[in-house]
Amino acid sequence: MIMEKVAVVGHGTMGAGIAQAFLQGGFEVLVIGRDHDSLKRGFENISMSIEKGIAKGVIGHDKKEGLMENLKPSLDYNDIEGAVLVIEAVPESYQTKTMVLSMVEAHAEGAIIATNTSSIPVTKLSEKIRNKERFLGMHFFNPVPSMKLVEMVETEYTSDDTKARAVELVSRIGKKAVMVRDYPGFVANSILMPMLNEAAVLLEKKVAGKEDIDEIVRLGLHHPMGPLELADLIGIDVCVDIMEAIYAETKDEKFNPAAILKAMRRDGILGRKSGQGFYTYQS
């Protein structure tokens, strides 16, 4: 049986997680990187995450080799040829994303083209896409291997066929697709970001300590994680980028990042990935 190919451009936290999800779903996965060294690191991160899945018992012990054989790292956009779906998962910058999307489109004949943006309007990104009917947002959640949702963002140009095919592909990796209209922050971050921001403001005002704020939300509101530990998981820089992007679109003060968050980003206190955020992490 010929395996279908999915291409992922970018291999940071989100790109690597998305690649792993499609590998586990039985796809051949091409991962396009920027340079040899960072691509090698991305490949190693995917390999380590698969090990973690094995240790947790969610991936069979004998599956790793087969999964890694289906993972094709590349620096060449020509290799996208033949993919059924291409997902752009590069950093949250309009310039970077539109540049990548233009290069993707030149090699993605007939494929669905998706962006994993969490805050840039998908319609704005579609301005640089010629085949707008094949383009949509596919917003994955961190940690991708565990999170069951993909927030699908349609523009006024996305065709019904594209939506149906994208939903079907997502269901084949065991995730649930929910379609929403393009809107600043879509649904998830419109709800989540004001909560994370408010938690940071409450900490700034010394209303409660960080552990207590998190415990109140975990035990009182029954969230799996408190907002400050969740901000550390997402990345403080990513949270501030998302808030600033939504604030730029809406001018709604609830998205204006708290001073403490901006200071943490400035000082490289970025959460789990830097070893220090609201909490300290051992690598």
Interface with ligand CAA (CB under 6 A), residue from 68, 146, 211, 267: 146
* DSSP-assigned letters across all residues of 121-139: -HHHHHTT-S-GGGEEEEE
The site for ligand CAA, by CB under 6 A, has a size of: 20
Question: In this structure, what DSSP letter does residue 4 have?
Answer: P
What is the C-alpha to C-alpha distance for residues 242 and 93, in angstroms, rounded to an integer? 10
What is the C-alpha to C-alpha distance for residues 136 and 93, in angstroms, rounded to an integer? 17
143 binds ligand CAA (CB under 6 A): yes
Chain residue whose CB lies nearest ligand CAA: 53
Specify whether the CB–CB gap between 24 and 67 falls below 8 A: yes
Which of these ranges, 45-53, 83-91, 124-132, 152-160, lies near ligand CAA under the rule CB under 6 A?
45-53
Which of these ranges, 26-34, 197-205, 224-232, 259-267, lies near ligand CAA under the rule CB under 6 A?
224-232
Strands 135-140 and 149-154: antiparallel
Q: How far is the CB of 242 from ligand CAA (least distance, A)?
A: 6
Nearer to ligand CAA, 82 or 275 (CB): 275
Nearer to ligand CAA, 60 or 164 (CB): 60
What is the C-alpha to C-alpha distance for residues 200 and 222, in angstroms, rounded to an integer? 19
Nearer to ligand CAA, 9 or 233 (CB): 233
Q: How far is the CB of 160 from ligand CAA (least distance, A)?
A: 26
- Cα maximum dimension of the chain: 60
Interface with ligand CAA (CB under 6 A), residue from 31, 111, 234, 264: 234
Contact positions with ligand CAA (CB under 6 A) in 51-70? 52-53, 56, 58-59
What is the C-alpha to C-alpha distance for residues 204 and 42, in angstroms, rounded to an integer? 36
- Catalytic (active-site) positions: 118, 139, 151, 189
Specify whether the CB–CB gap between 113 and 86 falls below 8 A: yes
Token output for 186: 């879509």
Specify whether the CB–CB gap between 44 and 86 falls below 8 A: no
123 binds ligand CAA (CB under 6 A): no
Interface with ligand CAA (CB under 6 A), residue from 155, 158, 162, 189: 189
197 binds ligand CAA (CB under 6 A): no
What is the C-alpha to C-alpha distance for residues 113 and 165, in angstroms, rounded to an integer? 11
Binding site residues, ligand CAA, CB under 6 A: 49, 52-53, 56, 58-59, 118, 141-143, 145-147, 188-189, 192, 224-225, 230, 234
